Amino acid sequence: MIKISDDSVLLCPLCGKDTTHLDEVRVSARPEDDEPNEIAVDTGTGRVRTHEDIPAPMGDRVHEGRRDRIALVGWCEQCGDTFALVFTQHKGATFVEAVRSGVTAGS
**Measured at the alpha carbon of residue 34, what is the angle toward residues 70 and 93, in degrees to the nearest 5?**
45
pTM reported for the whole predicted model:
0.85
Residue 77 identity (one-letter amino acid):
E
> Edge to edge, what strands does the sheet with 82-90 contain?
48-49, 37-42, 20-29, 69-76, 82-90, 93-100
Alpha carbon distance 92, 63 (integer Å) = 15
Per-residue pLDDT of the chain (107 residues; tens, 9 = 90+): 889 999 999 999 999 999 999 999 999 988 777 888 899 999 999 999 999 888 888 887 777 777 889 999 999 999 999 999 999 988 888 999 999 987 655 44
